[in-house]
Amino acid sequence: MSISPEGWPTSNDPLRITAENGRLEEAVLHQLDQLARLGSIDQRWLSVGRTHIEQGFMAVNRAVARLPRQTPVKPSLDD
């Protein structure tokens, strides 16, 4: 994926964007893994932050992919 001089992706391809997001997420999670090895870090808050970061990347990738909402299947009363 190419990056504009302003730092923004120049491709509208969802697969490329989500792949780049995955690379960025892995870099951030690697940093958190390094922090987890420090004894002076509050592990509970680190875990909370990690969960929010993972959820954030998941939400962004869903926005990029524009996945449609699933319609719930109504159970049939005939069974």
Q: How many Cα atoms sit within 13 Å of 78 on the Cβ side? A: 2
Per residue in 21-71, pLDDT (tens digit) is: 999 999 999 999 999 999 899 999 999 999 999 999 999 999 998 867 778
Q: Count other C-beta atoms under 10 Å from residue 44's C-beta.
A: 8
pTM, 2 dp: 0.69
Give residue 76's pLDDT band: very low, low, confident or very high (50, 70, 90): confident
Cα–Cα distance for residue pair 32/49, rounded to 1 Å: 9
- Identify the residue with better confidence: 76 or 54: 54
CA torsion through residues 63, 3, 33, 38, sign: negative
Report pLDDT for 66: 85
- pLDDT category of residue 10 using cuts at 50, 70 and 90: low
